[in-house]
Amino acid sequence: MDSNYEDNDNELQNAPETPEIPQAPPDQPEPTPMPAAAPIADLPDPPATPAEASQTSSTATGSPPSKKVEKKPPSRFVRLLRKILIGIGIAALIFLAGFLTDHFVRYQPLSDSLDETRTELEQANLTISDLEAQNTQLTNANRTANNEIFALEEELAAVKANALYYQVLVDVNTARIALFLEDIEGAQAALADTQDNLEALLPAIIEVDPELGLSLPRRLELIISGIARDPETSLIDLELFTKDLLELEPLLVSD
């Protein structure tokens, strides 16, 4: 056991000495210990809105929250102006609705009817143009037909004049022959219709020779009235009458 005690004493002697901690002088205050940093998870989130920021600031600073500012009611003039504007807007809407209703109820049918009338008028104008063209063609055809008819009438009048002329000439020659044979009754019978034929032939005779047209009827009347009284003089007058008729032949008779 004595050897054990000696060993412990030797170890204590050989152990290093513990340094002494210097103590602060009594006159100086002890340093304030630094607060430990808060963990990141414990930090508050940033405010989302300015209102929350102001509330958070007020709460942090400990100041009382600000009172909400009350909105002043609009003045009487503003209310009146607002009512007037609303009334004008309602009136404008009513006017627009009335205009649209009137347009679609009255003017739109009138516009459609006007379009139909214009279409019918255009068709009528086309029909009138066609009818005018047909009328022009018919007028030209009618004019041509009238010209042909006039030409035929002239030819017919010439034929009738030729027939009347030769009938008068034949009657006068027959009367001459009868008087030459002293057949007074035969001469009077031959001249029975000569006055009427000569009367029908007078327009053509007057057209070519007005003097003969006036003298021949009177001379024929004297011849007819004097056959029974003076046959010889009547025969001479018939010869002169025949001579005048022969002079009219190239003027009255057409080929």
In a domain, 169, yes or no: yes
Whole-angstrom distance, CA of residue 248 vs CA of residue 204: 10
- Are 167 and 199 in contact by the 8 Å Cβ rule? The answer is no
pLDDT at 111: 78
- The number of folded domains in the chain is 1
In a domain, 83, yes or no: no
In a domain, 203, yes or no: yes
- Are 194 and 171 in contact by the 8 Å Cβ rule? The answer is yes
CB atoms near residue 172 (< 10 Å): 24
In a domain, 96, yes or no: no
Pick from 193, 182, 194, 195: nearest CA to 235 = 182
In a domain, 88, yes or no: no
Return per-residue pLDDT of the chain as tens, 255 residues: 444 445 545 554 554 454 444 444 444 444 444 544 444 444 455 544 444 544 544 444 444 555 555 677 778 888 888 889 998 999 998 988 888 887 777 777 777 888 889 899 999 999 999 999 999 999 999 999 999 998 888 888 888 888 899 999 999 999 999 999 989 999 999 999 999 999 999 998 998 889 888 899 999 999 999 888 999 999 999 999 999 999 888 888 766
pLDDT at 135: 92
Whole-angstrom distance, CA of residue 44 vs CA of residue 194: 156
In a domain, 38, yes or no: no
Its domain, for residue 159, covers: 153-252
Query: What is the sign of the dihedral through the CA atoms of 37, 40, 41 and 47?
Result: positive
- Are 216 and 199 in contact by the 8 Å Cβ rule? The answer is no
Helix 231-252 and helix 108-180, axial crossing angle in degrees, nearest 10: 140
Pick from 135, 138, 139, 115: nearest CA to 127 = 135
In a domain, 187, yes or no: yes
In a domain, 45, yes or no: no
CATH number at residue 217: 1.20.120
